[in-house]
Amino acid sequence: MADSGASPLSPTPPARSPLFRAEQFVWLTARVLEQRLFAYVFLHGAADPVEAALDAYRNEDGGYGHALEPDLRGPVSQPLHTAHALRVLDSVGRLGGRRVERVCRYLTSVSTADGALPAVHPSQRGYPTAPFVRVVDDPPSELLTTGPVVGLLHRNEVWHAWMFRATDFCWQAVDSLERSHPYEIEAAVAFLDSVPDRPRAEAAADRLGRLVRAHRLAALDPEHLDAFPVAPGYAPHEHHFPHDFARTPRSLARAWFTDDEMARSLDFLADEQQSDGGWPIRWRRWEPAPALEARPMVTIESLRTLKAYGRTIG
């Protein structure tokens, strides 16, 4: 079949630009959901096809499963899958209505005694799961899972009874952080960037920024990564950079880093695009399929971050 070289959704990005190369990578490797999301974000695609693709992962209990988060395989609904679904809906402006009411009922059903979310519900047991993900019978509440979900719901002005105790849990968890790791800090930022109490959020973010710098949780100089420790349990080169904490200039975490530090971080992010057009995953790989499914997600997020900071992507 002859190749016209043009996208049916919009004019083709400039040849060999980061966006053009990423588009080829997405069409070659991505699941339908990420293909539709890429088209919506970068090629003027419609929101309805994104929702339709996401529906394939939705279960009757209102949650999402079916390896939406690639490191958790199997059909059962999980908080991490459902958080991912909420990020997709937020991306296309569809986080509201009866769909979110059903999601909140699911969140209520899997919450712990303190009203917040575990990282992994015990129903995952028996299905293939990344070896670095623990499945226990009585999992604790986690800021890692609850913070981004509560943040997204506040950002979209969703109000549900589940939100009250979950918000209180997030405040208590954020305020008690004295030592942490990058993914937990990123979850805290996702909460603080959208919670309504802005003075309290700004004060908490200022304290977390000092913690990040004191414990060298952000790799401030990509050319000298050996100077920055990798958190226990992370992959050998699983560093986190300023752009991982402050994904847009509007994030409270942007104030944690100087202009030069952020510029170096964004330069590093741009240079990480690989020869096939996609960005790499930095966490531990355990099977080929989850890594293959995750790379288009990382690619979309990398392009969105670069675009948010005004970098030319094509």
Contacts with 55 (C-beta within 8 Å, 6 or more apart), sequence order: none
**If you count DSSP H runs as helices and E runs as strands, how many of each does the chain have, helices first?**
12, 0
Model pLDDT, residue 11: 59
- Tokens 């050998």 appear where? 236
Are both 267 and 310 inside the same structural domain? no
Q: Is residue 216 part of a domain?
A: yes
From residue 231, give the alpha-carbon distance in Å to each of 14, 102, 121, 207, 264.
39, 36, 24, 20, 21
pTM of the model: 0.93
Q: Is residue 259 part of a domain?
A: yes
Are both 269 and 299 inside the same structural domain? no
Are both 161 and 308 inside the same structural domain? no
Average pLDDT of the residues of the chain:
95
Are both 50 and 72 inside the same structural domain? no
Q: Which two tokens stand for residue 14?
A: 């400039």
Are both 90 and 214 inside the same structural domain? yes
Are both 277 and 175 inside the same structural domain? yes
Are both 278 and 168 inside the same structural domain? yes
Are both 299 and 226 inside the same structural domain? no
227-256 exposure pattern, b = at least 16 Cβ within 10 A, e = fewer: ebebbeebeeeebbbbbbbbbeeebbbbeb
84 in Cβ contact with 68 (< 8 Å):
yes
Q: Is residue 190 part of a domain?
A: yes
122 in Cβ contact with 137 (< 8 Å):
yes
Contacts with 148 (C-beta within 8 Å, 6 or more apart), sequence order: 83, 86, 87, 187, 190, 191
Q: Is residue 124 part of a domain?
A: yes
Q: Which two tokens stand for residue 230?
A: 């990798």
Helix (H), strand (E) at residue 245:
helix 242-245
Model pLDDT, residue 16: 87
At position 31, the amino acid (one-letter code) is R
Q: Is residue 230 part of a domain?
A: yes
The Cβ of residue 258 has, within 10 Å, a number of other Cβ atoms equal to 11
Are both 162 and 210 inside the same structural domain? yes
Are both 110 and 209 inside the same structural domain? yes
Are both 277 and 299 inside the same structural domain? no
Average pLDDT of the residues in 83-110: 96
Residue 249 domain boundaries: 61-283
Q: Which two tokens stand for residue 132?
A: 């670095």
Model pLDDT, residue 280: 97
Q: Is residue 1 part of a domain?
A: no
Residue-wise pLDDT tens digits, 185-218 = 999 999 999 999 999 999 999 999 999 999 999 9
From residue 269, give the alpha-carbon distance in Å to each of 65, 159, 313.
30, 36, 12
Q: Is residue 291 part of a domain?
A: yes
Paired with 64 in beta bridges are: 58
Are both 82 and 195 inside the same structural domain? yes
Domain count across the chain: 2
Instruction: pLDDT band for 286, please (50, 70, 90 cuts).
Output: very high
